[in-house]
Structure 1
Amino acid sequence: MKPNLKNIVLAGILLLCSQIMNAQFLAASDTSENSVRRYKSIISANKEIVEFIEYSLAQKGLPKHLRNLALIESHFNRNITSGAGAVGVWQFMTSHANQYGLTQQNRNDLYKSTKTAVISLTNLYKKYNNWVTVVAAYNCGEGNIAKAMAAANSSQYHVFYKFLPEETINHVKKYLNACYATGELQSVLSNYNSSRMNTVFFVNGGSGKNSEQMAETDINAGFNLNVIADELDLDVSRLLSWNPEISQELQDKGEGTLYLPKDIMPDFLLRKNKILSRSIKETHAINTK
């Protein structure tokens, strides 16, 4: 669907403001000479490992700046173990490693752990469509990202980040610092801005929904979005990406339009009464605690 004139104008404004937005990110980063020298020194001291990681990323079409994730995670030390139990260059926790079939012993293996990290990062990008959120999710897990998005009623990192663990917020800042040092910060932020524009402006005239693939139905404020997501086996973040304004609509008007993919909507309609009943019970239980 072609974007309407209003959204083209808004997109133009966003493009004009992108430099301001980038400056805000830079202002939150450590751009000192000491920081730049430190990051470059670590990369230089681990040239062979860095080259292997960059080659592995490029083989799967991923940007080389993701090597900076290993840089801030471990300084490329394959034998390091964090206080939380994360191991190796990519600092895999046991649960994360198990998710991709990486054994505990192989978390120290540069080849196998890098191969696993590339798969994980690819999957995260398919889900979030920008590297800033991917870095956050790699650190704190997709569950925490979903909770933060739900709390902020937004899928945009610059809105929901305040609901993330402090460690994750600092982790993203470190990543941006490292990308500044390697001359790749602009690429990361441009990717983030492009993702924002695609979500806000160019999908169904700014609603975040493609009308050719989505169906709609009316719901009232009795419905709990977390319950809807759980009953339909969806991430709350995914549900919110289709319905970025639904929480505000339900709060302000007591009703709203719910958008779901056409292949999921029949399942919702079949369970609608059950979902409403469960939503009311769970909301009541929370309010009476």
Structure 2
Amino acid sequence: MKTNLRNTLLTAMLLMAAQMMNAQFLTASDTSESSVKRYKGIINANKEIVDFIEYSLVQKGLPRHLRNLALIESHFNRNITSGAGAVGVWQFMTAHANQYGLTEQNRNDLYKSTKTAAVSLANLYKKYNNWITVVAAYNCGEGNIAKAMAAANSSQYHVFYKFLPEETINHVKKYLNACYATGELQAVLSNYNSSRMNTVFFVKGGSKKDNSQLAETDINAGFNLNIIADELDVDMERLLSWNPGINDELKQKGQGTLYLPTDLMPDFLLRKTKILSRSVKESNTPTIRQ
């Protein structure tokens, strides 16, 4: 018994060591004096905005280093608009803003956009359990993260990052460089190395009706199952076979866990905003009963 326990612990320690070694590339790529000076200069030049952002983050229970996300997104310029149409300090796209109730006109409102960003970042952390993946998801969206995880067959950023858009990979590098400049890099890396992702891409065996592997994600009662089935082009009966009891769960708790085959989950996450929008518009349509 003791030998088996010792071997199990040794295996776990070796696995953790291997993961740590594989993740070593996650560090600042530019530690030059000019880089540090540039990031610190932008922060010092926007002290009032930075103080408000840090206060809002702390109030939400989030780390202060997330102020660096606004730093690399916009340099704290609330009036900036990107070529892709992202607006404000937090560079909200319209669909992302609408998902959290932030109107298109309020995307450059520092107070409202910061409060919205804090909620969005908290939700992303609940799913990914580390800030590096959160920064990547904030940049390219949950759908692209799910696709990369599926392609790499891994939920670890240092494994699946190569399947992400080049812009996102560079965005994460910028974030790590900014955190080096603010003296918070080690906290970010420690958070990553100690994280164990088990929510967004938790895979389990399929049901008796379907032997495929299933991935899970959270949805709320605003989602219409009929529309999910329609958007994913699957039969309602099959959707319910993957999600027995989901109607009762959504009705009683207002939220639930949606299970989909791993090859369908990226499609759902990419269309999540559209599905929710359709669900709201057709809210008077009754949900299929089991």
Shorter chain as denominator, the TM-score bin is 0.5 to 0.7
Aligned to 1:12: 13
Aligned to 1:47: 47
The alignment yields a C-alpha RMSD, in angstroms, of 3.4
Where do residues 125-204 of structure 1 align in structure 2 (5 Å cutoff)? 125-196=125-196
Can you give the 5+ residue segments of structure 2 that lack an aligned partner in the other structure? 219-240, 247-259, 265-290
Deviations 1:170-200 (CA, angstroms, capped at 9, x unpaired) = 000000010111111111111111114x76x
Letter in 1 for 2:10: V
The Cα of 1:165 is off from its aligned counterpart by 0.4
| Bigger proportion of residues as helix | 1
- For 1:140 and 1:5, the matched residues in 2 are separated by 42
Aligned to 2:256: none
- For 1:20 and 1:215, the matched residues in 2 are separated by 27
- For 1:86 and 1:183, the matched residues in 2 are separated by 28
The Cα of 1:30 is off from its aligned counterpart by 0.9
Aligned to 2:222: none
- For 2:21 and 2:153, the matched residues in 1 are separated by 24
> Which one is further off, 125-134 or 15-24?
15-24
- For 1:129 and 1:141, the matched residues in 2 are separated by 16
- For 1:190 and 1:177, the matched residues in 2 are separated by 15
Aligned to 1:86: 86
Query: Which secondary structure state, in structure 1, belongs to the residue aligned with residue 144 of structure 2?
Result: helix
Distance 1:36 1:23, change over 3 A: farther
The Cα of 1:23 is off from its aligned counterpart by 4.7
Letter in 2 for 1:8: L
Query: Which secondary structure state, in structure 1, belongs to the residue aligned with residue 121 of structure 2?
Result: helix
Letter in 2 for 1:96: H
Aligned to 1:24: 25
Identity of aligned residues (%): 71
TM-score, with length taken from structure 2: 0.67
- For 2:15 and 2:65, the matched residues in 1 are separated by 25
> Which one is further off, 28-37 or 69-78?
28-37
Any conservation in 1 of the 2:20–2:193 contact (CA below 8 Å)?
A: no
The Cα of 1:15 is off from its aligned counterpart by 5.8
- For 1:106 and 1:7, the matched residues in 2 are separated by 54
Query: Which secondary structure state, in structure 2, belongs to the residue aligned with residue 25 of structure 1?
Result: coil
Any conservation in 2 of the 1:215–1:265 contact (CA below 8 Å)?
A: no
Letter in 2 for 1:12: M
The Cα of 1:9 is off from its aligned counterpart by 2.3
Distance 1:192 1:7, change over 3 A: farther
Deviations 1:110-149 (CA, angstroms, capped at 9, x unpaired) = 0000000000000000011110100000000001111111
The Cα of 1:29 is off from its aligned counterpart by 1.3
